[in-house]
Structure 1
Amino acid sequence: MSTIFDDIATRFRQGRIDRRTFMMSMVAAGASVALASSLVGRAEAAMPKPKKGGHFKLGIGSGSTTDSFDPGAYSDNYMQSVGHAVHNYLTEVTNTGQLKSELAESWEPSADAKQWSFKLRQGIEFHNGKTLEAADVVASLNHHRGEASKSAAKTIVDPIVDIQADGKGTVVITLSGGNADFPFLLSDYHLPIMPAKNGVVSPSEGVGCGAFVLESFDPGVRTLVKRNPNYWKDDRGWFDSVEFLVIADVAARTNALTTGEIHAMNHADLKTVHLLKRIAGLELYSVNGGQHYSLPMNTTLGHFKDNNVRLALKHALDRKTLLQTVLRGYGEVANDHPISPGYRYYDKQQAQREYDPEKARFYLKQAGLSSLKVDLSTANAAFAGAVDAAVLFKEHAAKAGIDINVVREPNDGYWDNVWMKKPWCVSYWGGKPTEDWAFSAGYAKGAAWNDTFWDNERFNSLLVAARAELNETLRAEMYREMQGMLRDDGGALIPLFANYVGATSNKIGHDALAANWDLDGLRSAERWWFV
């Protein structure tokens, strides 16, 4: 019983299970309810308590020399994590997936959810000494708006038809159509609130009102931040300073953690993660969120214009083998759309696509082809094991008469030079809090990050209708249809939902880890502490 308790208590302390699961596990192991309750209390009492101090070093498996502090250009976990250290947002997704207030103290919608009024917290101070007011929110959101905007958040803010300051403490936003999920969107990592001057912001300066103040920024190498002495949250921002290090090579990243050069790392090498688990002083984390691996095809180019070719490729990949080989079981198979079982409107009835070389040949024939040769660009900058995944796919597809030429691209600059530039490549997406957000960000017509350049009139129409639909039954039907459309017509081959897997020193304390993004919802710098 002692050994079982130690194992369950460790998972509880790491945030991998909740209190209820802890008790159920102990009861299942033979403990009485009274004993299980006593044990969970003992585990809670032994959990590390936050304290201020220390210099935290975080090794991240992404980052590029082309990185910018302009939040509209954030494209991977590195700048997204740095951004959350320096900035605050109107709303925040908690570690349990709920929406809570951040800079917006409260909000109220109109009856049709087309107009939203956000009341701001008072007394919030930016790093440059300026006090937060409604004009800063207006300018920060307007930074992403307009025809000339190149922001990746443009699709999120495009529905805003008007945004006004109502005095210094309230912002009123009017949308082109109702959106019951709008406050969730304002937690997006592209949309921090920055100080305005003469109605505009200076995004590249890296001035925010977050837990840490920017000290130095060397793109693709290192970012140093120090604690904001005037931070308004008394239960966040524990470290004296945080150093974000770009360590793209997973072996180098792992070595840095095991030798104590860094205190935490993301994107653990799943090939050797079993060895990492054995090292004293380290703790592995594995969080099941909506993160998924994707192989987006540009549906406006070459063979990818033909949905028969897309379907042939979707049937030519052995997802179950990929799950065990690339993810070592740390995830689950996906069905060519981004909605995982954890989503509210996930379609449980949809048949799972299976590996079927003969069906792949059938679709090639429907496209007028007896064979197919196509390039697939890949780099481990997309996700750990991306190159191996592409090579495995090549082997699987060969049985269907498909010759995949695996093109190994440089890690540095991958997101700027390959993704959305080459006709077919590998990519990854973090989970989104809502179906609408997941669909709008990557599959809507004109979306900045629609990496398949897919344009389906029915899908786009349903997206708008479902967003404003208050009838739960009708809304669920729409989202189920949209999942099917992506599965059977979309340009993204999405084979796997991947757990976020990384490791920390046991000197690091944290609550249950968020699942909406890696590194505790990108907020590890703000939420974690030294034990």
Structure 2
Amino acid sequence: MQTIFSWSQVSRRGVMALALGAGVAFAAPYAQAAPKTAATIGMTVEPGGLDPTIGAQVMIGQVTWQNIFEGLTTIDKAGKVQPQLAESWDVSPDGKTYTFKLRQGVKFHNGVAFDSSVAKFTLDRARGADSVNPQKRYFTSIDTIETPDASTLVLKLKQPTGSLLYWFGWPAAVMVEPSTAADNKTNPVGTGPFVFGSWAKGTKVDLKKNADYWNKQVSVKLETASFRFINDPQAQSAALTAGDVDAFPEFGAPELVSSFEGNAKLATVIGNTELKVVAGMNNSRKPFSDKKVRQALMMAVDRAMVVEGAWSGLGTPIGSHYTPNDRGYKDLTGVYPYDTEKAKALLAEAGYPNGFTFTIKAPQMAYAQRTSQILQALFAEIGVTMNIETTEFPAKWVADVLKAADYDMTIVAHAEPMDIDIYARDPYYFNYKNPEFNSVLAKVEASTDATEQDKLYGEAQTILANDVPALFLFVMPKLGIWDKKLKGLWENEPIPSNVLTEVFWEE
């Protein structure tokens, strides 16, 4: 028998009773949905670890810097140095003594207090004989470290170091709690606004809001955040469209950017970065030990074609290891412009009238593979044969190229800001040695005059543009695709990062 049920005959109380009996939850009339407090951020490459003080991969900092870990200083979204765990500092007139006043009341995620002894441990670890810090050389000017009291740190330097405060803001200089240092690679413990939750290898890293965050001037809106690792560009696009990820701050497929134009849900934000795409050469290995060969290869490169083919025209050609964002920038793309005939002539002068054959070790990332294929075609025009060997990044590339320098040519986007000094490092994978260049960089550090430093940076750029220890190609833009209601992500990238401190959902 079928029962006919009339809603008009049932009282409000009866309706609620029926609903509860059926296990149905009714929202109060006109109740607003709770604001979203979770965000999923997409990344192309998964880091090999989560401790930026022991690993060179920029992806480590993109997950942990300013989220989990913090430093004595920090770099803001405009690229400027700001106080962080050091609230202030004094520098002696001779530039050789730095006295830091440390913040009080700061605790690591495990409850241990941050103080001068922790800062001393961190810096000693970074500069020690057994240090594997990726920026170890930035700490070598420190002679002695004194801790007069818990909130005072005094550094005595061997020589003035004009970039010290800037370097202290980098991921490699974040403060590390001694008892957790050995495990930070897989279980990072810092002082930041987010606490490490879990890491599903190959998939994602989850963070949780730090309820006891020391900086009460910052209102952290996100309760949870996830970094999801999606390598395939098509899969990145699909994840954004489906809402499986809320943002790809560094979208990996420039050819697909136009497909988001006019999207009602997703915003396209193109900013600047420090990502310098260069084809590094092993300067200690023939024929790349001959400057004329390197210059010839540079003249064989049509940078405009590279930018168009590798990154859909979204990039800025460069003539040295420097970006237009950096202080003292000089446009040196005209030093060795594209000129096939002059390139052939230089090769002949160097003793290679019929060219030569070599191998490029190219990471699997799209920009590296595409650029390699374009270079292969351009070099063929001057009689040079380049074979392409795809090299897994980061693990194999770091082992074979960065550490062992076992390669002819490679290609990678150097992401660290103002890192022109890498050509002065010994050892470093370019195997480039130029005392004049090293001298110019030493003068930069010895000076506290910004105008003089900018002039010297110009000289350093010019030396590299003429010597061509690497083929200087282009600067990548920051291609951000994210939900229009997600606010607070950095549009530009003065330092590789995904800072979540001020990220929130617009209601």
For this structure pair, what is the TM-score category when the shorter chain's length is used for normalisation? 0.7 to 0.9
Alignment partners' CA distance in 2, 1:150 and 1:330: 35
Which residue does 2:495 correspond to in 1?
517
Percent identity between the aligned chains? 23
| Count of equivalent residues | 466
- Aligned in 2, Cα 1:243/1:469: closer, same or farther, shift over 3 Å? same
Structure 1 residues 48-83: Cα deviation after superposition (integer angstroms, max 9, x where no partner): xxx98522111101125x435353214032553234
Q: Does 1:258 align with 2:258?
A: no
Which of 403, 426, 436 aligns to 1:458? It is 436
Alignment partners' CA distance in 2, 1:286 and 1:418: 33
Alignment partners' CA distance in 1, 2:279 and 2:133: 23
Which residue does 1:315 correspond to in 2?
299
CA RMSD of aligned residues (A): 2.3
Which of 359, 371, 379 aligns to 1:389? It is 371
Q: Does 1:244 align with 2:222?
A: no
Give the secondary structure class of the aligned counterpart of 2:424: coil
Contact 2:270 2:491 in 1 (8 A): no
Residue 173 of structure 1 aligns with an amino acid whose one-letter code is L
Residue 389 of structure 1 aligns with an amino acid whose one-letter code is T
Which residue does 2:503 correspond to in 1?
528
Which of 408, 422, 425 aligns to 1:423? It is 408
1:146 Cα deviation after fit = 2.1
Normalised to the residue count of structure 1, the TM-score between the two structures is 0.82
Contact 1:294 1:493 in 2 (8 A): yes
Which residue does 1:282 correspond to in 2?
266
Alignment partners' CA distance in 2, 1:73 and 1:512: 23
Which residue does 1:209 correspond to in 2?
191
Give matches, 1:376-525, under 5 Å: 376-381=360-365, 384-411=366-393, 413-420=395-402, 421=405, 422-432=407-417, 437-440=418-421, 442-446=422-426, 450-471=428-449, 474-510=452-488, 513-518=491-496, 522-525=497-500
- Aligned in 2, Cα 1:147/1:115: closer, same or farther, shift over 3 Å? same
Which residue does 1:354 correspond to in 2?
337
Alignment partners' CA distance in 2, 1:153 and 1:308: 31
Structure 1 unaligned spans of 5+ = 1-50
Alignment partners' CA distance in 1, 2:307 and 2:420: 24
Which one has the largest radius of gyration?
2
Structure 1 residues 434-484: Cα deviation after superposition (integer angstroms, max 9, x where no partner): xxx5223x212326xx33121211111221122112455544443222111
Alignment partners' CA distance in 2, 1:236 and 1:444: 42
Give the secondary structure class of the aligned counterpart of 1:262: coil
1:425 Cα deviation after fit = 1.1
Contact 1:445 1:456 in 2 (8 A): no
Give the secondary structure class of the aligned counterpart of 2:235: helix
Residue 283 of structure 1 aligns with an amino acid whose one-letter code is A
1:351 Cα deviation after fit = 3.5
Alignment partners' CA distance in 2, 1:151 and 1:347: 31
Contact 1:72 1:191 in 2 (8 A): no
Alignment partners' CA distance in 1, 2:387 and 2:331: 35
Which residue does 1:271 correspond to in 2?
255
- Aligned in 2, Cα 1:87/1:412: closer, same or farther, shift over 3 Å? closer
Structure 2 unaligned spans of 5+ = 1-33
Give the secondary structure class of the aligned counterpart of 2:207: strand
- Aligned in 2, Cα 1:70/1:288: closer, same or farther, shift over 3 Å? closer
Which residue does 2:129 correspond to in 1?
147
Alignment partners' CA distance in 2, 1:412 and 1:511: 26
Give matches, 1:98-177, under 5 Å: 98-177=80-159
Alignment partners' CA distance in 1, 2:330 and 2:111: 49
Give the secondary structure class of the aligned counterpart of 2:189: coil
Residue 428 of structure 1 aligns with an amino acid whose one-letter code is A
Residue 425 of structure 2 aligns with an amino acid whose one-letter code is K
Alignment partners' CA distance in 2, 1:59 and 1:110: 44
Alignment partners' CA distance in 1, 2:115 and 2:196: 21
1:288 Cα deviation after fit = 1.7
Which residue does 1:58 correspond to in 2?
41
Residue 281 of structure 1 aligns with an amino acid whose one-letter code is K
Which of 346, 359, 381 aligns to 1:375? It is 359
Which of 258, 279, 283 aligns to 1:299? It is 283
Residue 132 of structure 2 aligns with an amino acid whose one-letter code is K
- Aligned in 2, Cα 1:104/1:415: closer, same or farther, shift over 3 Å? farther
Contact 1:227 1:240 in 2 (8 A): yes
Contact 2:322 2:461 in 1 (8 A): yes
Alignment partners' CA distance in 2, 1:349 and 1:418: 31
- Aligned in 2, Cα 1:160/1:203: closer, same or farther, shift over 3 Å? farther
1:188 Cα deviation after fit = 0.9
Residue 322 of structure 1 aligns with an amino acid whose one-letter code is V
Which residue does 1:8 correspond to in 2?
none
1:207 Cα deviation after fit = 0.8
1:101 Cα deviation after fit = 0.8
Residue 54 of structure 1 aligns with an amino acid whose one-letter code is T
Give the secondary structure class of the aligned counterpart of 2:296: helix
Q: Does 1:342 align with 2:325?
A: yes
Which residue does 1:36 correspond to in 2?
none
Contact 2:317 2:333 in 1 (8 A): no
Alignment partners' CA distance in 2, 1:74 and 1:241: 26
Structure 1 residues 486-514: Cα deviation after superposition (integer angstroms, max 9, x where no partner): 11114221210111112111231126634
Contact 1:377 1:418 in 2 (8 A): no
Alignment partners' CA distance in 1, 2:202 and 2:335: 39
1:132 Cα deviation after fit = 0.9
Give the secondary structure class of the aligned counterpart of 2:463: helix
Alignment partners' CA distance in 2, 1:312 and 1:219: 44
Alignment partners' CA distance in 1, 2:256 and 2:237: 10
